[in-house]
Chain A
Amino acid sequence: MADLQLKSIEKNYGSTRIIKGVDIDIKDGEFVVFVGPSGCGKSTLLRMIAGLEDISGGELTIDGKVVNDLQPKDRGIAMVFQSYAIFPHMTVRENVGFGLTVSGVPKDEKVQRVNEAAQILQMEHLLDRRPSQLSGGQRQRVAIGRAIVRNPKVFLFDEPLSNLDAALRMDMRMEISKLHKKLDATMIYVTHDQVEAMTLADKIVVLKDGEVQQIGSPMELFHKPANRFVAGFLGSPSMNFVKVKVVAHDNDSITVSSDVIDEVVLPRHDRDLAIGDSLELGIRPQYLEPHHGEIKGSMHGRVSLSERLGTETVLDITLADGNKVIASINEDKVFEVDEEISLHFDVDNIHIF
Chain B
Amino acid sequence: MKKNSILTRHNTTGWLFASPGFGLMLLFIVIPFILAIAFSLTNQRLMSPNAAEFVGLENYTNMLDVGILVVDPEIDASGNILVDKNGDNKYPRLRKFTRNNPDYPNVQGMKEWFSFSWGVQKIAIMASDLVFMKALVNTLTFVAFVAPIQGALALILALLINQPLRGIQIFRSIYFMPVVVSIVVVSLLWRFIYDGQNGLLNSVLNTLTFGHFKAVDWLGNQDTALGSIMAMSIWQAVGFHMIIWLSGLQTISPTLYEAAKIEGASPWQTFRYVTWPGLRNTAVLVVIVITMQAFSLFAQIDVMTSGGPLDSTQTIVYQAVERGYGKQDISGGSAMSVVLFLLVLSISLLQRYLTREKN
Contact = CB atoms under 8 A, between A and B. Distances in A.
Do A and B originate from a single complex? yes
Interface of A: 14, 51-56, 68-69, 71-72
- Please report whether the interface of chain B is mostly helix, strand, loop or mixed according to DSSP: loop
Contacts of B18: none
Contacts of A72: 7
20 contacts: A14-B1, A51-B7, A52-B7, A52-B8, A53-B7, A53-B8, A54-B4, A54-B5, A54-B6, A54-B8, A54-B9, A55-B4, A56-B3, A56-B4, A68-B4, A69-B4, A69-B6, A69-B7, A71-B7, A72-B7
Contacts of B7: 51-54, 69, 71-72
Contacts of A14: 1
Nearest to A52: B7
Contacts of A52: 7-8
Contacts, number: 21
Contacts of A68: 4
Contacts of A56: 3-4
Nearest to B1: A14
Interface string B56-85: 000000000000000000000000000000
Contacts of B9: 54
A53 B8 CA distance: 6
B8 to A, nearest CB: 5
A62 to B, nearest CB: 15
A52 B6 CA distance: 10
Contacts of A54: 4-9
Nearest to B7: A54
A122 B3 CA distance: 45
Contacts of B5: 54
Nearest to B9: A54
A72 B8 CA distance: 11
Contacts of A55: 4
Most buried by A among B1, B5, B6, B7: B7
Given A55-B4, A69-B6, 6 more contacts: A14-B1, A51-B7, A53-B7, A56-B3, A71-B7, A72-B7
B81 to A, nearest CB: 75
A68 B6 CA distance: 10
A54 B3 CA distance: 9
Contacts of B3: 56
A51 B3 CA distance: 15
A72 B6 CA distance: 11
Contacts of A69: 4, 6-7
Contacts of B6: 54, 69
Nearest to A71: B7
A69 B9 CA distance: 12
A71 B4 CA distance: 12
A56 B5 CA distance: 8
Contacts of B4: 54-56, 68-69
A302 B5 CA distance: 58
A123 B315 CA distance: 67
Contacts of A71: 7
A68 B8 CA distance: 12
Interface string B1-45: 101111111000000000000000000000000000000000000
Interface in B272-317: none
A55 B9 CA distance: 12
A52 B3 CA distance: 16
Nearest to B8: A54
A68 B7 CA distance: 9
Nearest to B3: A56
Q: Which 5 A-B pairs have the closest CB atoms?
A: A54-B7, A54-B8, A54-B5, A54-B4, A69-B6
A51 B1 CA distance: 15
Nearest to A51: B7
Contacts of B8: 52-54
Nearest to A13: B1
B14 to A, nearest CB: 15
Nearest to A68: B4
A71 B1 CA distance: 17
Most buried by B among A51, A54, A56, A68: A54
A52 B7 CA distance: 7
A72 B7 CA distance: 9
A288 to B, nearest CB: 45
B7 to A, nearest CB: 5
B111 to A, nearest CB: 59
A54 B7 CA distance: 6
A60 to B, nearest CB: 11
Nearest to A50: B7
B11 to A, nearest CB: 14
B5 to A, nearest CB: 5
A55 B3 CA distance: 9
A325 to B, nearest CB: 41
B311 to A, nearest CB: 56
A56 B2 CA distance: 9
A68 B3 CA distance: 11
A291 to B, nearest CB: 51
Contacts of B1: 14
Nearest to A14: B1
A325 B9 CA distance: 51
Interface string B217-259: 0000000000000000000000000000000000000000000
